Structure 1
Amino acid sequence: MVLTKRTSNIPLICQICGDRARGINFEVITCMSCKAFFRRHALQPANHVHCQLDDNCDITQCTRSGCSACRLKKCFTLGMNPKLIRHSLQINRQCVKKKPSLLPTPLPLNLLQNDASTLSNSEWNLLSNVIHAYDQGNAIEHTKFMLQQQSILPPKLRIKSITTMDIIGFFYTTVQSFIERTSYFQDLSIDIRQTLLQRNAEIAGAYNSLFIVREANALTYPAYLFGSSNLYGHANVPILKKFISLLENNGVLFKIMLLVIGFSNSCSIVNPDDMKYMTTVTNINSLIHIENTLVTMLWKYLNYQYGFSGAVKCFSSYVIFILNIIRWIEIGRDRQHEDLIDVCVENIDQSLVVIN
């Protein structure tokens, strides 16, 4: 699917030491060494010797064995979850008794059954690569940089709508780049690519905007907050804050859902009077296969993280959340915003023509 070991020359990088990573371990992309280190030491952090260099060691592939205290501190700082250690040990004990079956391609699940299966190795790799494909765009750090640059502009330039519009436009173009980095997208015909990106640009862009605004703390920048109020109206700000408060904290889940939306053929409202929506998708079977693969991975991940009942509640909440975003877009349509979307769609068409 996305930047797999067989389809990409870009290796996954361990977020702890920088060595070649082997997938997601305890909610963070790590190498096998850091995975084993965290498994051994995370449950007894009090037993570690103290750092000899004021807790400021640089953890790299070469130095990771030099200071266990700083290495473990970095593991916790980057989000490795010790609660999953016992869960993984339980899975390993089950695997000793029963040889796991690896699925060559994910199969659809019956959501009415209490399916307790976890993701196969290939699905974990797929999930890891989805995260890597999104993080490769470095959208959060780039947004922070743009916000900082906006805040130091002269007051007259700082509050101009076009300055804020450039930042919001970046939220939308980031989605296109994310989807284009997937091998599934490259396997689709040109007409399906154009149709997907055109139809889903607005909803996927709005969803991505909420995530980036939250992660980059954009609403703490007065210039951005003022610019957004000028563009969409002061009444829109509390609605924006409400959506952000309801957005799932699980960043992995967000990235999976964003890809599901990006490959959906029935997510956005279709306006029959707009000719750009009248394109029909040919060879729909290839697209349905991708959608089935992604939704199956999503469901297995939810079931793995939250259990069956929690997965059902989480999935239902997400569907409602996406529908509310669509409603929010339709109610609060703005001419400047529509122009922004039109420019994004036009750039998408041009980029696909150039690529092909």
Structure 2
Amino acid sequence: MLYFLQSIENNRQLRESDWCHLSNIVAAYDTHCLKTYISQRSTVLADETALCQHQSMPLKHFTALPMSLSASLCAFFRALPAFHSLSKINQNYLWQNNLRSLLFPNIIEIGQSCFSEPWQISRDNATWALICGPQLYEQFAYTKQLAERSLIADPIITRLWMVVLFFSTSLFCLYDSYQFIKIPKKKTAIIDIQNIYATLLWKYLSNRHGYDGAVRIYSKLINVYLRMQRVGFEIGVQVRTRSELLVTYETLNQILTLDIRDR
């Protein structure tokens, strides 16, 4: 019995290799995701800095904001060696099924990691309000506030959580008929990678916050993400079905379809 308890405790401890892995994930997000997002945001907003935040929203911002979030996530996950260890079929499967479902968590992490001027925040909020529509935007804003209030501002936790979610056999509950998605017959490699990252997240939480704290934080991560997924699905419906958002829809599909194929 004593040996069993000691074994559990040893498995909970973070080794030097674990800390190195965590550091690499945080650095990859800073180097690839944040830099990509900031660069694209600067380009899009370069000609808007003189505009008052109360003026009408440029139509191109409909596409630019989701595109920047998607491109930054692509850059982050593409920087992970585990992603390149997968077959092309599995890579494309994750790309086309899971990227959209992680845009909302990326909004939260970018908001915590990247400084924005008040007028930029107002601009982004106005964009989401127009994309969502009045009723859905209320849910979007509530979920965003819930995430900001409930989740610990720890970049290791939020970024590693996104990695755990990305390596899922599918976060998407509805396959898009717009494009053909080849579903891999064998997903063991994806599950194995997710298990590694999920274990690493649990070890980090247990090490920093103890067992009870780890359970509490993990539960909040799951609860908040399920709310995000529901709102994100409804946003996807808006983007697919509204004619004024057709360009946004087609552009996102091109990013998710061509990003791997062209590399």
Range into which the TM-score falls when normalised by the shorter chain? 0.7 to 0.9
TM-aligned CA deviation for residue 250 of structure 1? 1.7
Q: Which residue of 1 aligns with 2:218?
A: 315
Which residue type is aligned with residue 124 of structure 1? Answer: W
Answer yes or no: is the 8 Å Cα contact 2:97–2:172 preserved in 1.
Answer: yes
Work out whether 1:178 is the aligned partner of 2:93.
no
Structure-2 separation of matches of 1:245 and 1:116: 35
Distance 2:188 2:127 in 1: 44
Q: Does 2:143 match 1:243?
A: yes
User: Which one of 229, 249, 254 corresponds to residue 326 of structure 1?
Assistant: 229
CA distance in 1, matches of 2:200, 2:66: 30
Alpha carbons of structure 1 residues 238 and 275: separation in structure 2 relative to 1, 3 Å: closer
CA contact (8 A) 2:102 2:162 kept: yes
Query: Separation in 2 of the partners of 1:237 and 1:219?
Result: 21
Equivalence for 1:200: 98
Match of 1:303 in 2: 206
Query: Structure 1 residue 220 and structure 2 residue 118: aligned?
Result: yes
Contact 1:194–1:349 (CA<8 Å) still a contact in 2? yes
CA contact (8 A) 1:201 1:345 kept: no
Q: 1:144 to 1:252 in 2, by over 3 A?
A: farther
Q: CA deviation at 1:206?
A: 2.3
Alignment map for 1:37-116 (pairs within 5 Å): none
Structure 2 runs not aligned, ≥5 long: 1-6
Q: Render the CA deviation track for 1:232-275: whole Å, top value 9, x for unaligned.
A: 2244444333333332222221100111111111322133x737
Q: TM-score, normalised by structure 1?
A: 0.60
1:145 pairs with 2:42: yes
1:267-286 to structure 2, matched below 5 A, reads 267-271=171-175, 274=177, 276=179, 279-286=182-189
State the shift of 1:347 in Å. 2.6
Asked if structure 2 preserves the Cα contact closer than 8 Å seen for 1:200 and 1:268, the reply is yes
Match of 2:4 in 1: none
- Give me the whole-angstrom Cα distance separating, in 1, the residues matched to 2:223 and 2:216: 11
Which amino acid counterpart does residue 69 of structure 2 have in structure 1? F
Q: 2-side partners of 1:220 and 1:119: how far apart?
A: 39
Other-structure match for 1:231: 131
For residue 291 of structure 1, the aligned residue among 190, 194, 208 is: 194
Quick check: 1:207–1:258 contact (8 Å CA) kept in 2? yes
The change in CA–CA distance for 1:347 and 1:116 in structure 2 (over 3 A counts) is closer
Quick one: distance in 1 between partners of 2:185 and 2:82?
16
- Segments of structure 1 that go 5 or more residues without pairing to the other structure are 1-108
Q: Which residue of 1 aligns with 2:85?
A: 187
Q: CA deviation at 1:307?
A: 0.8
Whether the 8 Å CA contact 2:71–2:255 is kept in 1: the answer is no
Q: Of Structure 1 and Structure 2, which has the larger fraction of its residues in helix? A: 2
Output the TM-score relative to the length of structure 2: 0.78
Which whole-Å CA distance do the structure 1 matches of 2:165 and 2:225 have between them?
9
CA distances 1:286-333 after superposition (whole Å, capped 9, x unpaired): 222211111110110111121101111111111111111111123343
Q: Using the alignment, how far apart are the partners of 1:245 and 1:346 within structure 2?
A: 31
Counterpart of 2:49, as a letter, is I
Q: Percent identity?
A: 17
The separation in 1 between residues aligned to 2:257 and 2:230, in whole angstroms, is 26
